[in-house]
């Protein structure tokens, strides 16, 4: 990695209990005014963040293995991004691209055309959040095909708006009590190698077989001719960092092409060097018709995009897509600086190096500890799935929660995920130093050992 200069000391430092007095006071104020429906993982409040650390209002410095859910890949205050944002806000913060357009939006679209898979003619439209990008990809697919049905998968996560709640699989906490949901959304089986049955001869279900299973459900229960879009995360995020079996995505993509179905890759979490490639679709050699992006794209500023085949996106009438803030100029400036940093710092290479470090340590631990069911993931999108002791695969959400809580008490921010709540996911900022990553892994390993012994 071409080195980055850190502004804050890259260290784990605990000076108070969690939460310290200032955080505790903020928690009290929050209770009186912030809606209870918004929950926070950390009990502490942030004063500063840089590289691999988050510093709280009491002066504690925590190692960040979450990056604000895969957002701050280039760091939470990357100097190049900060400079670009400062420069842009000094000129104009907003004019609305639908009213008074500006170059930054076009530059982002040019960059996305260059970086996304495929050398076909591409167009992009910019939005504010991942959910908004997904909604718009569905709008585009329906408009372009004249069809209604949208196919999604078990364990999928696509957002919290009304349409994207329908697309998301998990009821609690995302959907429960918030219906009715948007119609014409159909869920089909995913390829989840760790939780698949076996073939009668004892062999594993292949990616091609898992795809055939999903396709059969689509053809029998929906009808290929009714399907506007097939929407899938190439590696599922919130659902548990599920990497489908090899061949699953290519088979689905080929089927979609053959039936005039728009293949949408939701790369909101996997995109922008997170998995060691610009987009996770590249690992399987697929070229999606549309790609949804957000999170890592703009170094922490809210920006999202749909990029894809010109003939699909341009099928929409002028004025059919947009929004007040979509492609905000400050967010565009941040995105251009972030993408430049990903190239300059070779964050794809960095993500692959993180994969090597983390997987070698955690797979070694898995040999000793039977509550580790599987270590998986790609690049710096890595996970450990926990199971009850005894050699089976029954999920253990309690142990998972305890491990994350212990690590947090020890000053390492670790997120969980998964349909069964039994997956620890590691999403460090890609600019984290080797020393800090090693230290965080030692804390995680200790937490796992402690909980495994208690079990």
- Secondary structure (DSSP) of 298-343: GTTS--EEEEEEHHHHTTSPTTSS--SSTT-HHHHHHHHHHHHHHH
Nearest CB to ligand PLZ, comparing residues 182 and 208: 182
Q: How far, in Å, CA of 400 to CA of 397, rounded?
A: 5
Window of 12-20, 47-55, 60-68, 264-272 that interacts with ligand PLZ by CB under 6 A: 264-272
Dihedral, CA of residue 138, residue 139, residue 141 and residue 147, to nearest 10: 100
Q: Which residue number is nearest to ligand PLZ in terms of Cβ?
A: 130
Helix (H) or strand (E) holding 111: helix 103-115
Tell me how far, at minimum, the Cβ of 130 lies from ligand PLZ, in Å: 2
Nearest alpha carbon to residue 308 among 125, 186, 84: 125
Nearest alpha carbon to residue 445 among 418, 424, 416: 424
Contact string (CB under 6 A) for ligand PLZ, positions 60-79, x = contact:
---------x----------
| The binder of ligand PLZ chosen from 253, 269, 400, 422 (CB under 6 A) | 269
| The binder of ligand PLZ chosen from 58, 64, 266, 374 (CB under 6 A) | 266
- Please tell me whether residue 94 binds ligand PLZ under the rule CB under 6 A: no
- Please tell me whether residue 377 binds ligand PLZ under the rule CB under 6 A: no
Residue 200 to residues 205, 334, 392: CA-CA distances in angstroms?
10, 53, 19
Window of 141-149, 263-271, 349-357, 423-431 that interacts with ligand PLZ by CB under 6 A: 263-271
Nearest CB to ligand PLZ, comparing residues 132 and 355: 132
Residue 61 and residue 13 in contact, taking contact as beta carbons nearer than 8 Å: yes
Nearest CB to ligand PLZ, comparing residues 268 and 375: 268
Q: How far, in Å, CA of 52 to CA of 441, rounded?
A: 13
- Please tell me whether residue 106 binds ligand PLZ under the rule CB under 6 A: no
Window of 261-269, 353-361, 429-437, 443-451 that interacts with ligand PLZ by CB under 6 A: 261-269
- Please tell me whether residue 244 binds ligand PLZ under the rule CB under 6 A: no
- Please tell me whether residue 159 binds ligand PLZ under the rule CB under 6 A: yes
Assign 293 to helix, strand or coil: strand
Report the site for ligand PLZ in 278-307 (rule: CB under 6 A): 294
- Please tell me whether residue 233 binds ligand PLZ under the rule CB under 6 A: yes
Residue 383 and residue 424 in contact, taking contact as beta carbons nearer than 8 Å: yes
- Please tell me whether residue 130 binds ligand PLZ under the rule CB under 6 A: yes
Report the site for ligand PLZ in 14-53 (rule: CB under 6 A): none
Nearest CB to ligand PLZ, comparing residues 240 and 276: 240
- Please tell me whether residue 238 binds ligand PLZ under the rule CB under 6 A: yes
What are the beta bridge partners of residue 293? 305
- Please tell me whether residue 129 binds ligand PLZ under the rule CB under 6 A: yes
Residue 116 and residue 297 in contact, taking contact as beta carbons nearer than 8 Å: no
Sign of CA dihedral 90, 95, 100, 102: positive
- Please tell me whether residue 135 binds ligand PLZ under the rule CB under 6 A: no
Sign of CA dihedral 117, 121, 126, 132: negative
- Please tell me whether residue 154 binds ligand PLZ under the rule CB under 6 A: no
* Residues that bind ligand PLZ in the complex, under the rule CB under 6 A: 69, 129-131, 134, 157-160, 233, 237-238, 266, 268-269, 294
């Amino acid at each position: 990695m071409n080195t980055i200069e850190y502004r804050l000391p890259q260290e784990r430092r605990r000076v108070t209990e969690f939460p310290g007095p200032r955080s505790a006071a903020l928690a009290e104020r929050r209770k009186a005014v912030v809606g209870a429906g918004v929950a926070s993982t950390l009990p502490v409040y942030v004063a500063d963040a840089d590289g691999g650390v988050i510093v709280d209002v009491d002066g504690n410095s925590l190692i960040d293995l979450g990056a604000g859910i895969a957002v701050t890949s280039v760091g939470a205050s990357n100097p190049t991004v900060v400079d670009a944002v400062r420069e842009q806000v000094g000129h104009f913060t907003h004019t609305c691209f639908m009213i008074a357009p500006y170059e930054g939006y076009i530059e982002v679209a040019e960059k996305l055309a260059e970086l996304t898979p495929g050398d076909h003619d591409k167009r992009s439209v910019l939005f504010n959040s991942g959910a908004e990008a997904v909604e718009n990809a569905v709008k585009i697919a329906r408009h372009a095909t004249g069809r209604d049905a949208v196919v999604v998968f078990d364990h999928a996560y696509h957002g919290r708006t009304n349409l994207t709640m329908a697309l998301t699989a998990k009821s609690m906490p995302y959907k429960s009590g918030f219906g009715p949901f948007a119609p014409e959304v159909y869920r089909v089986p995913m390829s989840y190698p760790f939780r698949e049955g076996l073939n009668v001869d004892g062999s594993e279900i292949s990616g091609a077989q898992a795809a055939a299973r999903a396709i059969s459900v689509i053809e029998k229960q929906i009808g290929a001719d009714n399907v506007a879009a097939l929407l899938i995360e190439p590696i599922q995020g919130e659902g548990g960092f599920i990497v489908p079996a090899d061949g699953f995505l290519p088979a689905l993509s080929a089927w979609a092409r053959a039936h005039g179905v728009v293949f949408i890759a939701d790369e909101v979490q996997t995109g922008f060097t997170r998995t060691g490639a610009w987009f996770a679709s590249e690992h399987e050699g697929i070229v999606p018709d549309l790609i949804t992006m957000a999170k890592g794209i703009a170094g922490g500023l809210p920006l999202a995009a749909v990029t894809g085949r010109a003939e699909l996106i341009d099928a929409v009438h002028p004025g059919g897509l947009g929004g007040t803030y979509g492609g905000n100029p400050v967010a565009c400036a941040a995105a251009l600086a972030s993408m430049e940093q990903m190239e300059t710092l070779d964050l794809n290479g960095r993500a692959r190096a993180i994969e090597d470090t983390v997987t070698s340590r955690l797979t070694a631990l898995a040999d000793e500890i039977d509550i580790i069911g599987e270590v998986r993931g790609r690049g710096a999108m890595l996970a450990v799935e926990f199971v009850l002791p005894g050699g089976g695969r029954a999920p253990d959400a309690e142990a998972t929660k305890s491990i994350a809580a212990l690590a947090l008490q020890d000053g390492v921010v670790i997120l969980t995920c998964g349909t069964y709540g039994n997956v620890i996911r590691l999403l460090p900022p890609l600019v984290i130093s080797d020393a800090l990553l090693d230290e965080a892994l030692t804390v995680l390993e200790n937490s796992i050992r402690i909980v495994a012994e208690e079990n």
